[in-house]
Structure 1
Amino acid sequence: MSAADLLLRDATAMAEAVRAGAASATALVQASLERVDATDGRVNAFTAVLGERALRRAAQVDASLASTNGARTRELPLLGVPFAVKNLFDIAGLPTLAGSKIERQTAPARADAALVRRLERAGAVLVGALNMDEYAYGFTTENSHEGPTRNPHDLRRIAGGSSGGSGAAVAAGQVPLALGSDTNGSIRVPASLCGVFGLKPTFGRLPRTGSFPFVSSLDHLGPFARSARDLALVYDALQGPEDAGHPHDPGCAQRAVEPVSGVLAQGARGLRIGVLGGYFHQRAGAQALAAVDLVADALGSGVSRASVELPLVEAGRAAAFLITNAEGAALHLDDLRRRAHDFEPLSRDRFLAGALLPAAWVARAQRVRRVYAEAVARLFARYDILLAPATPSAATPIGAESFEVNGHVLPVRPNMGLLTQPFSCIGLPVCAVPVWGTHANQPNQPDLPVGVQVIAAPWREDLVLRVAAALEAAGVAHAPVAALSSEETPA
């Protein structure tokens, strides 16, 4: 199998091929760079391609395999696997853009972000930085500074956001793995719309050192992948307390590594699973609800068909909005005063609104957040897993200002994340799994993916990944590489 063909498989298969000598790290990385060159003019996932660095690193991996340390190198779980990161992760030698115009003028990062270092220690090779919404404030990645990232499965549509470049790069077969961030849904929304797997770990599970913050009390970092086993593999490589000698992320829980790859084969066996209704049913369209039904059917007898109500969910989402507005604005006050014209207009206006929020409102939002978290925690005495749609619909057209859900017309930018936001503000681990074929009873709808959220109690990433693996094994969740045509990018 050629390296180009291998690139269309998952990261586990790539690492196994390098380990067995069937491919070299250099050949894999070269294939990744060539695919980026051939496809990114249409997708626009990348903002920087690190060809020289990537090939140098791949050559080091190959040399290590051939050296006296070869046996140890062969044990690396992500041996020779190319990956890319949202451009809010520090990359040594590049300014950390965070999707903005303003940060282009900052000094280059002096070191890689903590999670970049961890993936490279696991044998992976960084090939570039990825597009995103400005300062991570959005759900569409229609970035006016870099241009919109296009959904590889339909180039006329959004990739989701704010980690849209990450979701699109994986769906386009440019890389099998990518890192993103999730504050209100910014991993799960692109995973849903681009048809890939995405993991938002428990808040504090992974160190954020070396990443540009959006809302420190809500920000999570996590991976995208094309298979559940890849998601588990990369999550295991990312885990662990902060590295000694590096700056400390005060939100990091400093937990020891708790590997999950070895438990995937247990699947959903013995788990108590509930389907969220109420808010999540009313605010999801037919395709999104059909995706949840397909998942519930595949999981069988472990699923309670009685609709589960998430208590205080609307109050929790409102609290998340206020906290996001206020904390996000506080970080940018100086630039809002001096350089307001250099912000994207929509980001600027929301930050300005956040700067004007009364402190009493924000304090009350934090109290609501705590009460809401306690109420949701009580649900996990009855259920191990909760299911909900990840987005209200499949991907909307680029430039669309609104979309319709159950007769209600909603603005796209704030509401593509209306089903993910309730879980971000209370820090739960969630895996978005990609589901296809939900258009069967809607002949006017295109066959595009819609994700389903698999949600567990804090620190139970093992459970959400077991369910993701079970759904993949059942053929319900899968992440095919987009069949990018040779046609011109739509206007």
Structure 2
Amino acid sequence: MSDLFHSFSDAREIARRVRLGEWKAVEVVEESLQYIQSKNTQLNAFTHITEARAFYEAEQVDQKIARAEDPGALAGVPFAVKNLFDMEGQVTLAGSKINRQDPPAMADATLIQKMNGAGAILLGGLNMGEYAYDFTGENVHYGPSRNPHDLSRMTGGSSGGSGAAVAGGMVPIALGSDTNGSIRVPSSLCGIFGLKPTYGRLSRAGTFPFCPSLDHVGPMSRNVPDLAVVYDVLQGHDPRDPVSAQRECEATSDALDDGIAGLKIALAGGYFRKQATEAAEQAVQKVIDCLGVSQEIEITGAAQARAAAYLITNAESSNLHLGRLRQYAADYDPDVRDRMLAGALLPASWVIQAQRFRSYYRRELQKIFTKYDLLIAPATPMPAPLIGQRSMELDGETMLVRPHLGLYTQPLSFIGLPVVVVPVSTPGAMPIGVQIVAAPWQEKKALRAARYLELSGFTSPLPQN
């Protein structure tokens, strides 16, 4: 087994070789951990590594295979999780200094249990923006995650460690969370695929909340088939999550190569064409040319949706953190603390109006999806900024980096739409992502289009490791 399997083999290939006995799961873990140790000082993706657990889980997989039992669809596949997922025996940090004093988790988050049940092996917890209130991947307590394509640049956040770990070849699969763009922004900046599913599709039980009415969880990977097979594993109603939908699971991995025939696709114009850099515009153009998209539509109210998302995010997150803010204000990232304090002062009438607009906006998007199956939009207005960069120029205006990396993601998560981010590459330049947006519960259509684009050959390659 080559020690470069991290860079050149996908999750399905690892599982295939382990199932056939060509590789031992214990060997996969051993080489994975060695590789992580060699790369993590550069990328700062992992905050802790669950080495003993990983070897135990790998031994269980190898024993199942020796007994001719089914080890699962992800047999021997290493994965890691954003450190807001509960890992039994570990403190759930959620990117915070304050949480270090909490007791270790008594049980795994539901999605970790599902991954383990399919034979995947947990390698540890990944760096993130404090309490998920971040688009940069910079953490004042644990240091910034670094972009594998250029170590001087951001990964995006708040699932920044997840983006760095996958793009850097440390694990083929990572789990992240997405409230306003925290899977999609790092997927875009790190040049990987990411799925933010429909709100309620995947269980959030055992994850540290940020804004419960907007919080999603989902996978990030190096290719679409891996994304689809992991998504299939993670589906299913969970009574532990009050918004978990009681819907039939959809098998997406078997339908990926059906192509885009019959899909009606449009370009999201108006708001989604403003303030984009040339790199973002070129990436969108490549995608719509490949998909044969000629229709452009304007989504009325997108700017207001972003504003309303901010109001709801601030109000809900500050309410969750009031006790901590009173007791540990000095231990917060000042940027996070100040936004939460501001959220605690928002008039209730503003929040109520934001929720009313949310209902209106959802109805307007439902009308669009009676005519179209998918919408195409940029994922971020620019490729990865430099670590520490505070402002950027967009359409001749000086804009703050931290909030504006979510410029195009917030109006979509605001009403829980499923989105797949596809990375697009330009020779000699940083990658940047494009969003494929579907109607609620139509992840399969977005994944089909993403696979079609992947097979076209212009999606972003991984950095050389």
Place the TM-score, normalised by the shorter chain, in its bin. Answer: over 0.9
Amino acid at match of 1:165: G
Shift of 1:4: 3.4
CA-to-partner distance for each residue in 1:42-94, whole Å, 9 max, x for gaps? 10000001111101110111111101xx2422xx2111000000000000011
CA-to-partner distance for each residue in 1:344-403, whole Å, 9 max, x for gaps? 100000000000000000000000111011111100111100000000000000000011
- Please state if 1:224 is matched with 2:220: yes
- Please state if 1:309 is matched with 2:309: no
| Cα distance in 2 between the residues matched to 1:283 and 1:30 | 46
Q: Secondary structure at the match of 2:463?
A: coil
C-alpha contact 1:298 1:476 (8 A) present in aligned 2 = no
Q: Secondary structure at the match of 2:17?
A: helix
| Cα distance in 2 between the residues matched to 1:248 and 1:341 | 33
- Please state if 1:292 is matched with 2:274: no
| Cα distance in 1 between the residues matched to 2:150 and 2:7 | 21
Aligned pair count reads: 465
Map 1:57-72; keep pairs closer than 5 Å: 57-67=57-67, 70-72=68-70
| Cα distance in 2 between the residues matched to 1:27 and 1:157 | 33
- Please state if 1:49 is matched with 2:38: no
Shift of 1:256: 2.4
Q: Secondary structure at the match of 1:275?
A: strand
Map 1:132-151; keep pairs closer than 5 Å: 132-151=128-147
Residue in 1 aligned with 2:37?
37
Residue in 2 aligned with 1:96?
92
| Cα distance in 2 between the residues matched to 1:306 and 1:237 | 35
RMSD value, Cα: 1.1
| Cα distance in 2 between the residues matched to 1:466 and 1:317 | 28
| Cα distance in 2 between the residues matched to 1:254 and 1:134 | 32
Amino acid at match of 2:119: G
More displaced 10-residue stretch of structure 1: 17-26 or 462-471? 17-26
More displaced 10-residue stretch of structure 1: 178-187 or 272-281? 272-281
Residue in 2 aligned with 1:195?
191
Q: Secondary structure at the match of 2:8?
A: coil
Residue in 2 aligned with 1:210?
206
- Please state if 1:477 is matched with 2:462: no
C-alpha contact 2:86 2:108 (8 A) present in aligned 1 = yes
- Please state if 1:397 is matched with 2:386: yes
Q: Secondary structure at the match of 1:409?
A: strand
C-alpha contact 1:44 1:147 (8 A) present in aligned 2 = yes
TM-score when normalising by structure 1: 0.93
- Please state if 1:365 is matched with 2:357: no
| Cα distance in 2 between the residues matched to 1:419 and 1:129 | 28
* Structure 1: gaps of 5 or more residues: 441-445, 485-491
- Please state if 1:319 is matched with 2:275: no
TM-score when normalising by structure 2: 0.98
Determine which of 251, 255, 265 is the counterpart of 1:259. Answer: 251
C-alpha contact 1:4 1:28 (8 A) present in aligned 2 = no
| Cα distance in 2 between the residues matched to 1:126 and 1:254 | 27
Q: Secondary structure at the match of 1:455?
A: strand
Q: Secondary structure at the match of 2:411?
A: helix
Q: Secondary structure at the match of 2:85?
A: coil
Instruction: Give percent identity, aligned residues only.
Output: 54
Shift of 1:156: 0.1
CA separation of 1:423/1:88 partners in 2, compared to 1, >3 Å: closer, same or farther?
Answer: same
Determine which of 435, 447, 453 is the counterpart of 1:465. Answer: 447
Q: Secondary structure at the match of 1:150?
A: coil
Amino acid at match of 2:462: V
Residue in 1 aligned with 2:261?
269
More displaced 10-residue stretch of structure 1: 124-133 or 252-261? 252-261
Q: Secondary structure at the match of 2:4?
A: helix
Amino acid at match of 2:247: R
C-alpha contact 2:6 2:169 (8 A) present in aligned 1 = no
C-alpha contact 2:145 2:160 (8 A) present in aligned 1 = yes
Residue in 2 aligned with 1:420?
409
| Cα distance in 2 between the residues matched to 1:277 and 1:155 | 33
| Cα distance in 2 between the residues matched to 1:101 and 1:64 | 40
CA separation of 1:6/1:317 partners in 2, compared to 1, >3 Å: closer, same or farther?
Answer: closer
- Please state if 1:335 is matched with 2:298: no
Amino acid at match of 1:53: R
CA-to-partner distance for each residue in 1:223-258, whole Å, 9 max, x for gaps? 00001000000000000111xxxx621111122211
| Cα distance in 1 between the residues matched to 2:70 and 2:145 | 39
Shift of 1:107: 0.6
C-alpha contact 2:301 2:361 (8 A) present in aligned 1 = yes
* Structure 2: gaps of 5 or more residues: none
Residue in 2 aligned with 1:152?
148
| Cα distance in 1 between the residues matched to 2:264 and 2:246 | 29
| Cα distance in 1 between the residues matched to 2:409 and 2:139 | 21
- Please state if 1:378 is matched with 2:374: no
Residue in 1 aligned with 2:430?
448
Shift of 1:406: 2.0
| Cα distance in 2 between the residues matched to 1:464 and 1:306 | 17
